[in-house]
Chain A
Amino acid sequence: MLKIRIIPCLDVKDGRVVKGVNFVGLRDAGDPVEAAIRYDAEGADELCFLDISASRENRRTLFDLVSRTAECCFMPLTVGGGVRGEKDVEALLRAGADKVSFNTAAVHDIRCVEHSANRFGNQCIVVAIDAKSVGPSEWQIYTHGGSQATGIDAVKFARQAEESGAGEILLTSMDSDGTQTGFDLELTRTIAETVTIPVIASGGVGQLQHLVEGVTLGKASAVLAASIFHFGTYSIQEAKQFMADAGVSVRIT
């Protein structure tokens, strides 16, 4: 039986973890590679790096850390943030990423997804959708960290991403993100039931029950969280055990 994936996400800026991680025994709480090694050992099912570096120049540090991570973590690694087109995808795959995530560039022109999927395969192209509620059962795509409205319907865009060859959708609710009150379950379920590709639920996890709900009520194939893992609130193992006890099929290592 296919397992529900648990994906810790690290926000990275200029090659460093934003805000740091709070694990016992880490030599350098700001080094994404050390955090990745810890998550690997804890049995995370995948890893996600989201680069929020302000300048293009600092992206070299991203390639370096992707490469160092790929040398020691033999698990799927998704990298996103500032990905503009095929060249960026190629550079990240060459560094050792397994999947590359498009966000703003896909909203501006979905053809970057199509071209990259044709060239590198659907399985390595993720489309990250940041959606905000604009009315009952209605969500719109926002860019630039949720600050810019686009007027594009999120459900329609998800379908378009699938048709363009995305292998997966990383869905973040801008209403829930950072609130620790749980995923936007209606949004997650609506998108998950619209597309046939896997949907990763993201944004708002504060308790382990939220992870369970993302799967049972949100119908997500995978759940992504950042702060509950970084701050040591829960380990990946604890999260998995909790989900297993709630009847969700997870990989126990």
Chain B
Amino acid sequence: MSQTVIVDYNSGNLHSAHKAFVKLGEKVANSEIKLTSDPDIVAKADRIVLPGVGSFRDCRFALAERGLDEAIISAVNGRGIPFFGICVGMQLMASIGYEHGRTEGFNWVPGEVKPLKRQYKEMKIPHMGWNELNDVSEHPIFSGVEEGTDVYFVHSYQLEAENDAHCIASTDYGGRITAAVGFENRVGLQFHPEKSQSAGLQIIANFLAWKPN
């Protein structure tokens, strides 16, 4: 049985993500789901899930404090295991984030994480609620997920990727926004699959079954 690790760095609400993975782990992929803050366990994982709640800076520092950033980077870069970032966990894949000051990310997806801009008076921030997935790519993570499917977003910052090929799905909120990024064995979602009902569960199941080349 393989082990999928959900990285717990005490930022708060990892529990709904954990429950969604547990529901699918054994059923879909014969994968044990483990919530951990132990860098040794993370370093040996077969798959890594990085949820994120709070600011880019807080998440980055909380990971560094526990040696989790190095464990993640060595497993993902060194052994090429599949990585799944959610929300701020996805944003951390960028080069730099500007939430609560300038902070370096993992630099897997060249680009910057910047605040959403209010494009019209009624535009609410955070971008909160169900919005459509557009430009859904052929990526295995989106197998069975149709263009235009609604998924649940909650965020005030967004990842602006330098290379458009890294953006594997977008959404529209006062303009085109990155909804998902993909690069080799790494994927990241700005939205919350664990709160996106059947479409979200499909994406999680796809990740658990994903064998990147």
Interface residues, chain A, with chain B CB atoms under 8 Å away: 1-5, 40, 43, 45, 70-71, 74-77, 90, 93-98, 119-124, 167-168, 196-198, 219, 221-222, 251, 253
Contact = CB atoms under 8 A, between A and B. Distances in A.
B128 A74 contact: no
B166 interface: no
Contacts of A93: 12-13, 15
Contact of A98 (B13, B126, B155, B173): B13
A1 B131 contact: yes
B132 interface: yes
A7 to B, nearest CB: 10
Contact of A196 (B54, B118, B154): B118
B152 to A, nearest CB: 6
B129 A124 contact: no
B195 interface: yes
Nearest to A92: B13
Interface stretch (B16-24, B26-34, B101-109): B16-24
Given A119-B54, A123-B155, 5 more contacts: A1-B132, A70-B15, A76-B154, A122-B126, A123-B126
A210 to B, nearest CB: 20
Given A74-B195, A198-B124, A119 B130 contact: no
12 contacts: A5-B130, A74-B20, A74-B194, A74-B196, A74-B201, A75-B196, A119-B54, A120-B11, A121-B54, A122-B156, A123-B155, A221-B124
Contact of B19 (A40, A70, A122, A167): A70
Given A71-B23, A197-B125, A251-B150, A124 B195 contact: no
B38 interface: no
A219 B122 contact: yes
Contacts of B131: 1-3
B44 interface: no
A75 B197 contact: yes
> Would you list the 4 A-B pairs with minimal beta carbon distance, nearest first?
A120-B12, A123-B154, A93-B13, A3-B130
Chain B contact patch, size range:
35 or more
Contact of A74 (B16, B55, B127, B130): B16
Nearest to B124: A198
Main secondary structure of the interface of B (DSSP, over half): mixed
Contacts of B128: 123, 167-168, 198, 221
A196 B130 contact: no
A2 B15 contact: no
A3 B131 CA distance: 6
A76 B152 contact: yes
Contacts of A253: 150, 197
B196 to A, nearest CB: 7
Contacts of A4: 129
Contact of B173 (A2, A74, A124, A219): A2
B200 interface: yes
A164 to B, nearest CB: 15
Nearest to B87: A123
Contacts of A74: 16, 19-20, 23, 194-197, 200-201
Contacts of A121: 11-12, 53-55
A3 B195 contact: no
A142 to B, nearest CB: 25
B172 interface: yes
Contacts of A120: 11-13, 53-54
Contacts of B124: 196-198, 221
Contact of B195 (A95, A98, A196, A251): A98
